[in-house]
Amino acid sequence: MLWIKALHIVFVTSWFAGLFYLPRIFVNLAQESETVTSERLLLMARKLYRFMTVLALPALVFGLVLLWLQYGGAAGGMKMPAWMHAKLTFVALVLGYHHACGSLLKKFENGVNKRSHVWFRWFNEVPVILLLAIVVLVVVKPF
């Protein structure tokens, strides 16, 4: 179980690195007026989004395995505590944020972005808040 937990942490950390950086690329794209630079930033964003998605999959799989080992068949069907329900809600929000990044990337690719660089700076703070909430729930287990 410790190996699975370690791999889960590594993939979650790597996934979040992408979730922190992709919106920074969006900030630059929203400010950029040169086509060559925009194309380079779009290429970076596409590659990063693809890589983030690859990292998210094992993070989720290892998380589900841990969930099953702790509260599923191996544990005799124990009831999940409230903090785990809250954590899973935040994980769903992280998945929604990941999907939103993909939607925003498509808008940049299609040349229809209407958001300012300031909006993207604020958007970039969302995964920080989500990660903070998830870590506090897992470590502190407040309820």
53/92 Cα distance (integer angstroms)? 15
Residue 81 DSSP class? P
47 is in an annotated binding site: no
68/73 Cα distance (integer angstroms)? 7
87 is in an annotated binding site: yes
User: Would you list which residues are annotated within the binding site for heme?
Assistant: 8, 87
Binding-site residues sit at 8, 87
